[in-house]
Amino acid sequence: MSKSWASTLRLPKSSFPPRPLAELRPLYLQRTTDELYKWQQTHRPDADAFVVHDGPPYANGKLHVGHALNKILKDMSLRVKMQQGKRVHYRPGWDCHGLPIELKALEAAARTSSSSSSSSSSSSVSPSSTTSLSPVGIRKIARDLATRTIVDQMSEFRSFGVMADWDRRWTTMDADYEVRQLRLFQQLVHKGLIYRKYKPVYWSPSSHTALAEAELEYNDQHLSTAAYVKFPIVGKTHQIPGHDGSRRLVAVIWTTTPWTLPANEAIAVHRDFDYALVRLGSEDLLVAESCLEAFTAQCCPEGTPQPTVLARSVRGADLLNLTYTNPLRGKTAMPQPIIHADFVTAGSGSGLVHIAPGHGFDDYIVCMGLGLPVPAPVDGLGRFTAEAYPDDPLRLQGLSVQGEGGPAVLAILGDAVVATHAYRHKYPYDWRTKKPIIVRATAQWFADVDVIKAPAVASLQSVRFVPDAGRSRLESFVKGRSEWCISRQRAWGVPIPALYGDDGSVVLTEETVQHILGVVQQRGTDAWWSDAADETAWIPASLQQAHPGVAYRRGTDTMDVWFDSGSSWTQAANGAQADVYLEGSDQHRGWFQSSLLTRVAALSNKADGESTVSAAATLSPFKTLVTHGFMLDGEGKKMSKSLGNIVTGAQVMDGTLLPPLKEKKKRGRGKNKEASSASTPPQKNAGSVAGSVTGSVTYDALGPDALRLWVASSDYTGDVVMSEMVLQATHTALIKYRVILKMLLGSMQQSARTSPLTTVDRIALLQLQDTMADVGAAYNRFEFYRGLAALNRWLTNDLSAFYLEASKDRLYCGDGGGVLEPLFVGLTRMLAPVVPMLVEEAWDHAPAWLKESTTHPLQQLYSDPLPGTEQLSGSESEHERLRAAIPVIFAAHAAVKTAAEHARNDKAMGSSLQCSVVLQVPEASPALALLREHAGELADMLVVSALSIVTDKESAVGDASSTPAWQYTAPFEVAGGTPATAFVLPPDMAKCPRCWRYVAEEEDHLCQRCDDVVGHE
């Protein structure tokens, strides 16, 4: 009987578990985040610092995977720089002011009020009842909500494995932050960049406040009621060709916002367009020639009277002296002019544009140039005021312009409405309430962007953008705006420190802001609202002395939250630039832009916008700007609460987005039946692997590393998909990392440090160095997905399928030598920024001799020499020659595997050791010399029992008298595309019972190598 040699083998032995142990997650999380952050703060040089400045998330709800994507990208960036020897700084921040939090606070207050009311009354309380809350009450509820939310969000962020200076986190509602923001505002006041103006702004009736463009989102499916409306022209009508004066002459306008018609001040034409005079019924109508066909289709369908063309080619310039009346303006209203406007187009509507300067930006500009008034008879709730219809004020007053107000206007106009139709188009919505906005003229505070946009754009020339497209996107947003509406009509925010006199004056100067700042430092911003209305402490004595008869009150406007978060750069020491800003691509028109504009406005030396290139280089708040896309589900739909497809980071970490684990069948008679009927899985003990239990099933909970690996694997420069298929690939990769780490840990031997390097060892070290260079370069470019792709290719093709397979015989049956130690160190170094908890866990199971002599992988420099690489001796030319041989060896390896697989399918052989190989290479090929140079080790590399090399002039299988029992071939290409052939043949020798190679002289006898190893033991 054959003897068992198992006890003489060096089989892998490691305590590293196949899955992370659930009970150790908090320990590894602590070590890889808080402890590591503190360690690098004292062990990395402060002179070489790297700062990631946090774009603060809103403290108003639960986190989702989009938040995880953002925070983990920042964390990986920090860890990469820490590996490069830098001391990293990251203070998390939260955006706490503004409408999102105020609305949530009001909803919470409404629920509380409703609950209290229901206990004493059967009537319910609607959220609108919270409007009775004072600003002080609103601010207190909002602050409490933000404070609670920050605690919850911070706990979840930390569970993602994010290291940061959590104890020094900042919020926009911190007292010192608000003071810095007001000081920044004061600087802009000093430079004359802040002004108050009555003009149209985006207005949200649902939020009762003005909005900036960055607070809008556009609905492509918005449905409006469009109308063609006639306005009668008065006086001088004889100058129109074709019009004999016997019929009424009217101008036809087309509008998608009939509710704006009460604010109409003019009709615009284009002086260079051709207009037509057409007769319809008892009236002569003016319509642009290019719009006549569309007008007829909409207003005169088949079977109804059709228009008759009286004259064509009436120049728009000939219409500019005409006037018309608007019945909505009242019986005593003066005639209104027909004017020229460049923005009139000939491709839609009627070619005559209704101008309402109180409800349109272009309308406002053209009317300002002509000195026309700017009425806007709409209140803050989006309802008509009495001024909307002077002849009968109650007819429209109080009606919602986005509801019944539009149809009511058309009803008043009566026969003046030629036709109406449904019109689907793109329309701006309030991004918070998801309801349509309006444009409404009000008195608001603005920051002058026009004078700073040139230095702002110039400052971006020295900024690195990832991806590159971010540059043109941000530049276009900056170039496209001339002012920034910074006032909001809400209570929860930083007050705009303006004083209003009862004589109608408005005071906002550098001196008054300075005085108010002093009071804020003593009392806080809440006192702006809580102090008595006649509190004189807020009024500078100099102002009161200069205007003794005027009583001043504090304003109620608050600053735009983009000004809040855009002021965050002021926290940097000496106002220094941050190395990185990293947020979603929507921040090009949000936080990126507000941060850029406020910093340029404050630091630019020339108010006229001029700036030298050298000076502009330091004006931007960021040196590198990284943007990521939005989250999509498996169907490519954007994640949103309304669709119900939001995914949380916790779901990824606990594995519940994937099918549950299959319960393993228990061995033994009758136990399978018990297992199949069990309603709940066995309880986890202290040594159980991570798994989340839901109901009666268990999920594969791989923890923060699964979430982080998904982030690192995603090409975040576009929109990022989260689906079961994507997560399954992530889990598979993470499990593969664990399997390889377990194998390396189980087979590493201290004695290998002095063992000679084989060719396969040298190949492995060269491949490792090349891969580390590629991975490191990708990480440094913030292209983690490319770095991880390079790492995974190396793991699959080079390490797992080649080196580890080729080394098993030596590791288990030979001297245990090899380069597993540098491979382990290099692998953990590449994994460290991505899956630090896995690296920490692997290090926890590393042998004591390795820990005593090697720095912890999370603390190593990426450029540190790998242990054992000093043995990689030889000149650079020798290394290059080996590099040249690698693709030849790999091609032969692939061909042998192909031929061996054919043999296995025919049951001619089983293990690859059950064959010998002949490589037939053309005599003229340079690959022949490369292969022969390593001929003595090729059998081990290709995991076969014997290998020989012949030229194409020689026979691969001997003469006819020695024809093998079977043979299989596979072609492969060598250097220059030269064809070669791999022959897989039966082995020539006997099987060694210990190593199973067919290299023994006799059956059941050890081969010479195994005999020597066993003899030495």
What residues contact residue 885 under an 8 Å CB cut-off, 6+ apart?
930, 931, 933, 934
Residue 33 has pLDDT above 90, yes or no: yes
Is the model's pTM score more than 0.75?
Answer: yes
What residues contact residue 559 under an 8 Å CB cut-off, 6+ apart?
97, 181, 185, 486, 487, 488, 493, 494, 495, 496
Residue 679 has a pLDDT of 32
Indicate where the chain has its CATH 3.30.2320.20 domain(s): 888-986
**Residue indicated by tokens 């022959």:** 983
CA-wise closest residue to 561 among 60, 52, 199: 60
Residue 766 has pLDDT above 90, yes or no: yes
Based on its alpha-carbon atoms, the radius of gyration of the chain, rounded to whole angstroms, reads 39
Residue 116 confidence class, pLDDT cut points 50, 70, 90: low
237-245: average pLDDT: 83
pLDDT tens figures, 554-579: 999 999 999 999 999 999 987 799 99
Between 385-394, 456-465, 600-609, the lowest mean confidence (pLDDT) is in 600-609
Between 210-224, 486-500, 690-704, 919-933, the lowest mean confidence (pLDDT) is in 690-704
218-240: average pLDDT: 90
Q: Annotate 626-668 with three-state secondary structure.
A: EEECCEECCCCCECCCCCCCCCCHHHHHHCCCCCCCCCCCCCC
The CATH superfamily assigned to 653-660+699-873 is: Isoleucyl-tRNA Synthetase; Domain 1 (1.10.730.10)
Q: Which two tokens stand for residue 882?
A: 């080996």
Q: Comparing 674 with 4, which gets the higher pLDDT?
A: 4
Residue 696 has a pLDDT of 72
Residue 115 has a pLDDT of 62
Percent of the chain with pLDDT over 70: 93
Cα–Cα dist 269/346, whole Å: 10
Residue 288 has pLDDT above 90, yes or no: yes
CATH code for the part of the protein at 21-169? 3.40.50.620
Residue 961 has a pLDDT of 65
| Beta strands 323-324 and 336-340, pairing class | antiparallel
Residue 485 has pLDDT above 50, yes or no: yes
Q: Comparing 1017 with 965, which gets the higher pLDDT?
A: 965
pLDDT tens figures, 312-342: 999 999 999 899 999 998 888 899 999 999 9
CA-wise closest residue to 48 among 82, 91, 76: 82
Q: Is 132 exposed, middle or buried (0-12, 13-18, 19+ CB in 10 A)?
A: exposed
Question: How many C-beta atoms lie closer than 10 Å to residue 878's C-beta?
Answer: 12
Residue 109 has pLDDT above 60, yes or no: yes
673-699: average pLDDT: 49
Residue 877 has a pLDDT of 81
Residue 681 has a pLDDT of 37
Indicate where the chain has its CATH 1.10.730.10 domain(s): 653-660+699-873
pLDDT tens figures, 647-677: 999 999 999 999 988 876 655 544 443 333 3
640-649: average pLDDT: 87
Residue 124 has pLDDT above 50, yes or no: no
pLDDT tens figures, 864-905: 999 877 777 667 788 888 999 999 999 999 999 999 999 999
Q: Comparing 814 with 592, which gets the higher pLDDT?
A: 592
Q: Comparing 667 with 728, which gets the higher pLDDT?
A: 728
Cα–Cα dist 624/28, whole Å: 31
Residue 956 has a pLDDT of 81
CB 898 within 8 A of CB 917: no
Cα four-point dihedral sign 772, 774, 775, 776: positive
Under CATH, what is the fold of the domain 223-426? Isoleucyl-tRNA Synthetase; domain 2 (3.90.740)
What mean pLDDT value characterizes the chain? 90
Cα–Cα dist 307/293, whole Å: 10
Question: What stretches of 84-203 show up as alpha helix (H) in DSSP?
Answer: 99-118, 135-159, 175-190
**Residue indicated by tokens 């460049």:** 342
Cα–Cα dist 290/373, whole Å: 31
Cα–Cα dist 598/616, whole Å: 14
Residue 901 has a pLDDT of 96
Helices 759-780/65-83 angle, 10° precision: 120
Between 239-243, 437-441, 911-915, the lowest mean confidence (pLDDT) is in 239-243
Q: Annotate 884-947 with three-state secondary structure.
A: HHHHHHHHHHHHHHHHHHHHHHCCCCCCHHHCEEEEEECCCCHHHHHHHHCHHHHHHHCCCCEE
Indicate where the chain has its CATH 3.40.50.620 domain(s): 21-169
Residue 960 has pLDDT above 70, yes or no: no
CA-wise closest residue to 370 among 343, 400, 348, 338: 338
Residue 673 has a pLDDT of 38
Cα–Cα dist 995/1007, whole Å: 8
If you write DSSP's letter for every residue of 790-857 in order, what string do you get? HHHHIIIIIIIIIIIHHHHHHHHHS---SSHHHHHHHHHHHHTTT-HHHHHHHHHTS-HHHHHHS--G
Cα four-point dihedral sign 45, 46, 50, 56: positive
Top-level class of domain 888-986:
alpha beta
